[in-house]
């Protein structure tokens, strides 16, 4: 590997993370996030932007001058939860703090802006995922008694020049966003409509932000995006416009495998994870980079959504069941200790009992370590919502989901049992929820273990002998520090 700094200087140009002089902080911001890790990271960007406008974050709703909820439209339950929270905010606004302003951020903003602002009148401002830098102007609008809205999607906004304020951080792990948007157009998903088309962030700014985290003693960084494997930096712009770029821009472009290699090489004592991957965009050069570096965690979130080719086609997933299984085979050949997790949707439009059995069969083939499983709920604005019939009865969905969850729990136990008797490295990331005298930590496969605290502290890398397990948690004894401290 060439000198990393030289490679970056030759391949990319970009602005450093901006540190501007800010106003004296006299106002209070209360912000809540729902949904994916991208939403959590976006809230940290928003907090950084508003920090320069004089806002400190608070955990006390009643004292807030500004209340923001960062929303998710992926599933109906998330939207229902957000609506209940907005009702609570408005009750507090009426009864306790009449000067409070309430705003909605993120993925619900575009879809429900008229409802929130004009029909239901439950918010003062609505801000889409690409418009957070406009918050100061929007707040000025609100202060003058006008509703404020900006849900315009951008072709180039990545917030690469914003150093996020870490909210509710354990001081050990942090997220760094590397891409925004998605081009895949799965028929069940609203993300391309709420977050726009794919664009990637300047690698130089990514490495600078990681450097800031390392200097603050963070030990683990997760590279984040709707589809990290699609990362492609060629000087800026949408991924779909890459073919229009100059020959020089195309020849010096940085893909995800190269970015991952840069990160792991430049910060060898820092653990790296990444999420989320899409099977159609996962290339084996990424797996080879994972095998090359000890500090890249041996864990992949590899959503499949269904084990049925008919359902995969209906979902517009650009891979077949057989291609997915071949990819899994190759992953395990290159990194035998890899752990895999899945996203699974049951009861999608037209799903038959045979389609469901195909999903269970695929799960038995892979034996995932972890899973995120859901019954299909129709989302307005998606192709499935507009053109497909949600024809699987609720009771059938419920039964199929129960079968998928039961099988996943069997496989999770099978996978945790593979760790018994082994001594593995864990990063201490917090106190066990069940026992205040124990730490919890994660190994490279993303499996949680609990163990007595002893003289060890938060952020230490320790070697733990695994002695017992459940389907979700390992239990063991610390035998000493690892060589990564």
**Chain segment 82-104, per-residue pLDDT in tens:** 888 888 988 999 898 988 999 89
Q: Are 328 and 277 in contact (CB under 8 A)?
A: no
pLDDT at 60: 92
Tell me whether strands 27-33 and 55-57 are parallel, antiparallel or unpaired: parallel
pLDDT of residue 287: 98
Tell me the β-bridge partners of 372.
343
- Helices 394-417, 353-366: inter-axial angle, 10-degree rounding: 10
Name, of 21-25, 116-120, 378-382, the range with top average pLDDT. 378-382
- Rounded to 5 degrees, φ, ψ at 293 are -110, 125
**Closest to 175 (Cα-Cα) out of 1, 9, 312, 40:** 40
Distant-in-sequence, close-in-space partners of 433: CB < 8 Å, separation ≥ 6: 440
Residue 313, pLDDT above cutoff 70? yes
Convert the pLDDT of each residue in 322-351 to its tens digit. 999 999 999 999 999 999 999 999 999 999
Secondary structure of residue 430 in the 3-state scheme: strand
How many angstroms from the chain centroid is the CA of residue 348?
Answer: 23
d(CA 201, CA 208): 12
Percentage of the chain modeled with pLDDT above 70: 93
Backbone φ, ψ for residue 137 (5° rounding): -65, -40
How many whole angstroms separate alpha carbon 431 and alpha carbon 125? 38
| Mean pLDDT, rounded, of the chain | 90
Whole-number pLDDT of residue 219: 97
Cβ atoms of 128 and 151 within 8 Å: the answer is yes
Of 78-87, 191-200, 402-411, highest mean pLDDT: 402-411
Q: What are 162's strand-pairing partners?
A: 18
Q: Reduce the DSSP state of residue 139 to 3 states and report it.
A: helix
Q: What DSSP letter does each residue of 172-221 carry, written as one string?
A: SEEEEE-EE------TT--HHHHH-S-EE--HHHHHHHHHHHHHTT--EE
| In the predicted structure, residue 167 carries a pLDDT above the cut 60 | yes
| Closest by CA position to 199, among listed 212, 183, 213, 180 | 180
pLDDT of residue 73: 67
Q: Under a CB-based contact definition with an 8 Å cutoff, are residues 281 and 200 in contact?
A: no
Q: Could you identify the residue written with the tokens 């960062």? A: 70
DSSP string, 383-400: HHHHHS---S-HHHHHHH
Task: For strands 254-255 and 232-233, give the pairing.
Answer: antiparallel
Predicted confidence (pLDDT) per residue in 214-253, tens digit:
999 999 999 999 899 999 999 998 999 999 999 999 999 9
CA distances from 107 to 133, 136, 231 (A): 16, 20, 21
- Those residues with Cβ within 8 angstroms of residue 372's Cβ, 6 or more apart along the chain or in another chain: 341, 342, 343, 344
Percentage helix, strand, coil, to 5, in the chain? 40, 25, 40
């Amino acid at each position: 590997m060439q000198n990393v700094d030289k490679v970056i200087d030759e391949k990319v140009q970009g602005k450093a993370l901006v540190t501007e002089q800010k106003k004296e902080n006299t106002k209070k911001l209360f912000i809540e996030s729902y949904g994916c890790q991208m939403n959590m990271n976006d809230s940290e960007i928003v907090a950084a932007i508003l920090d320069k406008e004089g806002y400190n974050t608070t955990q006390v709703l009643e004292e807030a001058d500004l209340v923001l909820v960062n929303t998710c439209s992926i599933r109906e339950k998330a939207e229902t939860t957000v609506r209940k929270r907005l009702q609570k905010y408005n009750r507090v606004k009426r009864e306790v703090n009449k000067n409070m302003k309430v705003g909605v951020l993120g993925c619900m903003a575009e879809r429900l802006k008229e409802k929130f602002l004009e029909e239901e009148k439950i918010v003062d401002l609505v801000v889409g995922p690409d418009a957070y830098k406009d918050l100061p102007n929007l707040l000025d609008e609100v202060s003058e008694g006008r509703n404020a809205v900006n849900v315009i999607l951008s072709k180039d906004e990545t917030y690469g020049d914003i150093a996020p304020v870490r909210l509710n951080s354990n001081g050990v792990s942090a997220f760094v966003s590397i891409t925004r948007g998605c081009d895949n157009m799965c028929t069940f998903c609203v993300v391309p409509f709420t977050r726009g088309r794919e664009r990637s962030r300047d690698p130089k700014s990514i490495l600078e932000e990681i450097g800031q985290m390392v200097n603050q003693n963070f030990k683990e960084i997760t590279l984040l995006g709707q589809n990290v494997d699609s990362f492609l930096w060629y000087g800026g712009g949408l991924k779909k416009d890459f073919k229009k770029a100059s020959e020089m821009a195309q020849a010096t472009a940085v893909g995800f495998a190269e970015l991952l290699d840069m990160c792991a090489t430049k910060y060898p004592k820092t653990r790296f994870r990444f999420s989320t991957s899409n099977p159609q965009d996962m290339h084996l050069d990424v797996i080879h980079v994972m095998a090359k570096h000890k500090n890249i965690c041996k864990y992949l979130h590899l959503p499949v959504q269904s084990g049925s080719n008919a359902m995969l086609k209906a979902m517009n997933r650009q891979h077949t069941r057989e291609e997915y299984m071949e990819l899994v085979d190759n992953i395990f050949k290159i990194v035998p200790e890899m752990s895999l997790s899945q996203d699974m949707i049951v009861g999608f439009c037209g799903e038959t009992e045979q389609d469901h059995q195909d999903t269970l069969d695929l799960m038995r083939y892979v034996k995932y370590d972890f899973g995120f499983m859901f019954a299909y709920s129709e989302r307005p604005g998606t192709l499935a919502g507009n053109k497909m019939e949600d024809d699987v009865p609720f009771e059938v969905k419920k039964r199929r989901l129960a079968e998928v969850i039961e099988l996943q729990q069997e496989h999770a136990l099978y996978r945790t049992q593979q760790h018994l008797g082994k001594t593995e490295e864990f990063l201490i990331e917090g106190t066990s929820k069940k026992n205040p005298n124990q730490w919890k930590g994660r190994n490279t496969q993303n499996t949680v273990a609990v163990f007595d605290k002893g003289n060890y502290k938060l952020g230490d890398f320790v070697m733990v002998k695994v002695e017992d397990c459940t389907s979700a948690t390992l239990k063991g004894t610390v035998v000493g520090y690892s060589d990564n401290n």
